[in-house]
Homo-oligomer: A and B are copies of this chain.
Amino acid sequence: MIDGLIQRLRVRDDVSDEEEEALRGLISETEEFPARVTVLRREKLLDRSVLLLEGLMCRSKDLPDGQRQITALHVPGDFLDLHGFTLKRLDHDVMSLAPSKVAYAPHDRLIRLTEQYPHLTRLLWLTTNLDAAMHREWVLSLGQRSGAQRSAALFCEIHTRLSVVGKAINRRFEFPLNQTELGECLGLTVVHTNRVLRELREIGLVTFRRGGVQIHDLEALETFAEFDPAYLYLEKLSR
C-alpha cells in the first residue's frame, strides 16, 4: 500500500525489512478524495502527516490580491506535508488535482519512529530535503528560464519522478491539470501558457492535452529545457 514511498526510498538508500515494517506501522487509516478539493488548509494545527498513495496533488500559496502560485506537485509515494511534522502548521494549502487516495501518519507514531529508528528518521528527513531541492529548481526556473523552457523543464521533472514509481510508460504519463493550473505552476497566465504549449507542440517536443502528456523527443526536450536530473538525487548512497 505504501509501496510508492518504499520504492522512492530504496532508490536512494537501503531499507531493511524491519524498517519497512516500521514504515507500514506509521499508517493509521486511508481516505479518498475527488479531484479539485482542498485537502489541507494553511494555518491549521496538524497532528498527522499525509502520504499520497494514488492520484496527483499540489501545494499552493496565494497573495492577498488573489494571485495564486502552485509551489509543488506531488505524485504517488510523496508525503504531502511531512514538513508539517516539525513545523506543526502549513504555510500553504494542499489541493487534489485528480481523484486521489491518501494514508495518514499520526505525529505521535512519527515521534516514536524518530526515537527508535534513527536511520529511517534520516531517510524521512531526506524526503523533505528532496522537496526543498525541487523548490530550488523551481526558483531557478521561474527566475531564469523562459516560459517555454519552464514548461519543458516541468514536463521533464514530472516524467522522471513518475518513472521512479512506474507511472510513466513510453514517454507518456497522466497529467490531469488544466491550462490555468499549469500556468499557476509556471508563473504564467492561461493565455500565455496556451501559446507556450502550442510552441512546444509545433516544434515536435511534447504534446500536453488535458489529461496527459506525450513526450515526442525526450532528448530534445531535455536539451531545450536545460534539464539536469541531478537535483532529484536518484543515486543510492548510505545516508
Contacts and interface: CB of A to CB of B under 8 A. Distances in A.
Contacts of A71: 136, 139-140
A136 B239 contact: no
Contacts of A68: 144
A137 interface: yes
A87 B139 contact: no
A14 interface: no
Contacts of A121: 114, 118, 121
A109 B67 CA distance: 45
A16 interface: no
Interface of A: 42-43, 59, 61-65, 67-69, 71-72, 83, 85-89, 91-92, 111, 114-115, 118, 121-123, 125-126, 128-133, 135-140, 142-145, 184, 186-187, 226, 230-231, 233, 237, 239
